[in-house]
Structures are given as structure tokens and as C-alpha cells.
Amino acid sequence: LHADGRAVPLLKSVARIEREGASLLVESFIDISELKQVQADLSASEAKYRQFFEDDLTGNFISSRDGQLIDCNPAFAQLLGYESPAEIIGKHMQDHYLQPEKRGLLLERLQEKGRLDRYEGVLRHRNGEPVYLICNLIGDFDEQGELVRMRGFIFDDTKRVLLEKEIRQAQKLEAIGTMAGGI
């Protein structure tokens, strides 16, 4: 306790010494109040950003280079048909590629550019349906410059893509009808 009555966090060490035939203990104390405050501030900051990550409406994820999902938020899990992140974390993203062979090309581009903005892609929902995406992908690299992880922020663009396909199909049918009526 401090002289004013407040508690002071301390780091205490004790050493046994011999002096004039007597065994003595030497104690030293270091005030770690600043360290404790920094730890508390860091913890609060981590909680704030974790909540931001969890509540984000875009699907956020981190995966290893080989495709193992390291972490994701609930929006990402739901985008692919899972109830919670716990159901998908640890699985390989390769299982969700509609065209798995394109993953290698994506990794090459990310290795080369470091970041891909507004990248359009397609993943497979748990039920097998395509999920059309617009995403920003960021590479994390080791000391040799090799890609080790990928972070992504994904927006589900399926409704827009399917609507555009319907419109194009309707326009084709209209054009065919116009050509048939003109014969």
C-alpha cells in the first residue's frame, strides 16, 4: 500500500544472502503501475477491435497460404452456410472454391501485388450453390517476401450477379422474339 492508502502493483524479488554468519533476505520492489495500465489499455483496445470484427457486416477472414481457415467473423461463416465461425474455422477453403484450380492463380496475383482490391470471385456455399463475391484481399509475408497468410474482407454480390444474368437472358429472349416476328 502507498502512504496515501491506494494499492500499488509491485514486482517483488527476494534473494538470500549470508552476512557475518547470519542468513538474510534482501527484498526489492519495482512499481509496475505503468505496465499494468498499458496492459489494461491494450486489453480494452483488443476487446474493442474484436467486437468490431465480430459485428462487421462484411465477411472477414484470415487463412493460411495452404487455405486453412485461421479465423473469421460470423458474417463470413453465414455467407458460406455455417451457423457460427466455430463450424468452419480449421477447414480448408479449397472445399469452398467453385473452381479450385483458380486458387493457385489468386495466390500468384496476391504474391505479386501484395493486395487485391475489388477482386471478384465465386465460392461455393455449403449447400453447393455459388456465392458471388467482391472482396479486398491482403497478403501477409515472411522475411523472404513469401506469402504466408491471406486476410480478406468479402461482400456478398450474389443478388446483383443473378439479377444481371436474368436481365441478359430476358434481353436475349426479347431479341430472338423480335427477330422471329420480323421474318
pLDDT score at 59: 92
pLDDT score at 102: 86
**Is the CB of residue 134 less than 8 Å from the CB of residue 119?**
yes
**Is the CB of residue 94 less than 8 Å from the CB of residue 80?**
no
pLDDT score at 56: 67
Distance separating alpha carbons of residues 96 and 25, to the nearest angstrom: 64
pLDDT score at 136: 95
pLDDT score at 123: 93
- Scored b (16 or more CB within 10 A) or e, 18-45 reads eeeeeeeeeeeeeeeeeeeeeeeeeeee
Give the residues of the chain that fall short of pLDDT 50.
none
pTM over 0.85: no
pLDDT score at 183: 54
